[in-house]
């Protein structure tokens, strides 16, 4: 921050410019009430105090988001490694896609408000489990449980909560396996446990959830029970089809001739060569 040569304090114009820069920061949407300042009603000392508080908020918030982002990168790598291992061992990739997201500032503030807790760094860490989210889309239902079991066997993964909406679908037909885990993220001077929400779905589950989400926001009428019922029927139909497809795959696997030891060895070598290449 630039300072006046006379008293070492920043002048009003410099502080005003700083507040303007903070308000236009694209990575964090600061509460509007903090930025609506009548410069004619406050002195330089008051503005300096405000600018310091705002800078502290921005820095702390960006650091927290950086930590969540690092946790997502580590988690994505874990799933990619599991997918590669399954490919070598079982000649197929159980994971179809992996998507990550960080909850936006507005969404974070709104959720904290609904919970009746203040917007602060400590409040975010203590009350929210889904700031960092990763969605893993698998080919078959059994892949979901195999991948989840393998992930939770990692020594550095701590399971905080689990909701199985596959075994127990939501009333509207939503199906997915939700895990809340904590993963250690290693920084230059410390290690921090960061919470990540994981959603594991099949391709059909993901397709249904995306379409249901779009239709839910398009149809704002109160009397939409007919639509809800139709979506539930679609979800049940997709689940039955997935179960049948899994049964077909398992029958094909069972009928395949057992490979010899040499076949297994050469196939593993071929897969490893492809992975390395």
Supply the CATH classification number for the domain 66-276.
Answer: 3.30.460.10
Q: What is the mean pLDDT of residues 55-69?
A: 83
For the chain, what is the mean pLDDT? 81
Q: Is the pLDDT of residue 160 over 80?
A: yes
Q: What is the mean pLDDT of residues 216-237?
A: 76
Q: Is the pLDDT of residue 94 over 80?
A: yes
> Could you tell me where in the chain the CATH 3.30.460.10 domains are found?
66-276
Q: Which residue has the higher pLDDT, 109 or 30?
A: 109
Q: Is the distance from CB of 181 to CB of 129 less than 8 angstroms?
A: no
Share above pLDDT 70 across residues of the chain, in percent, rounded to a whole number: 70
The CB density around residue 235, as the number of other CB atoms within 10 Å, is 21
Q: What is the pTM of this model?
A: 0.76
| Helices 225-255 & 203-218 angle (0-180, nearest 10) | 170
Q: Which residues contact 150 (CB under 8 A, 6 or more apart)?
A: 82
Q: Is the distance from CB of 141 to CB of 206 less than 8 angstroms?
A: no
Q: Is the pLDDT of residue 257 over 50?
A: yes
Highest mean pLDDT among 178-182, 184-188, 210-214, 217-221: 178-182
pLDDT of residue 33: 43
Q: Is the pLDDT of residue 183 over 90?
A: yes
Q: Is the distance from CB of 66 to CB of 90 less than 8 angstroms?
A: no
Q: Is the pLDDT of residue 129 over 50?
A: yes
pLDDT of residue 9: 47
Give me the sign of the Cα torsion angle 164, 147, 204, 243.
negative
Strand partners for 186:
191
pLDDT of residue 168: 96
Nearest C-alpha neighbor of 87 from the set 133, 139, 134, 153: 139
C-alpha–C-alpha distance, residues 110 and 257, integer Å: 57
Diameter of the chain measured on Cα atoms: 88
- pLDDT tier at 48, thresholds 50, 70, 90: low
pLDDT of residue 1: 42
Q: What is the mean pLDDT of residues 35-59?
A: 61
Q: Which residue has the higher pLDDT, 271 or 126?
A: 126
pLDDT of residue 191: 93
Q: What is the mean pLDDT of residues 23-41?
A: 51
Q: Is the distance from CB of 271 to CB of 88 less than 8 angstroms?
A: yes
Q: Can you give the three-state secondary structure of 29-65, one letter per residue?
A: CCCHHHHCCCHHHCCHHHHHHHHHHHHHHHHHHHHHH
Q: Which residue has the higher pLDDT, 199 or 61?
A: 199
């Amino acid at each position: 921050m630039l300072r006046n040569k006379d008293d070492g304090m920043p002048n009003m114009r410099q502080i005003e410019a700083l507040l303007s820069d903070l308000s236009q920061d694209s990575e964090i949407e600061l509460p509007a009430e903090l930025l609506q300042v009548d410069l004619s009603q406050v002195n330089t000392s008051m503005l300096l105090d405000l600018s310091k508080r705002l800078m502290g908020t921005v820095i702390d918030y960006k650091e927290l988001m950086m930590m969540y982002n690092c946790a997502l990168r580590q988690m994505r790598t874990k799933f990619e490694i599991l997918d590669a291992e399954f490919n070598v061992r079982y000649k197929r990739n159980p994971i179809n896609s992996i998507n990550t997201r960080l909850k936006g500032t507005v969404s974070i503030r709104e959720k904290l408000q609904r919970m009746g807790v203040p917007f602060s760094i400590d409040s975010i860490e203590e009350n929210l489990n889904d700031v960092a989210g990763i969605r893993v889309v698998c080919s078959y239902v059994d892949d979901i449980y195999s991948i989840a079991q393998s992930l939770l066997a990692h020594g550095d993964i701590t399971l905080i909560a689990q909701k199985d909406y596959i075994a127990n679908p939501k009333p509207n037909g939503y199906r997915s396996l939700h895990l809340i885990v904590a993963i250690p993220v290693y920084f230059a001077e410390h290690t921090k446990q960061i919470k990540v929400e994981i959603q594991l779905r099949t391709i059909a589950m993901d397709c249904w959830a995306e379409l249901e989400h779009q239709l839910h926001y398009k149809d704002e009428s109160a009397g939409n029970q007919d639509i809800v019922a139709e979506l539930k029927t679609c979800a049940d139909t997709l689940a039955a089809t997935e179960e049948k497809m899994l049964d077909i795959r398992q029958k094909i696997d069972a009928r395949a001739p057992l490979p010899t030891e040499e076949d297994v060895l050469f196939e593993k070598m071929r897969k490893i060569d492809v992975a390395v290449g």
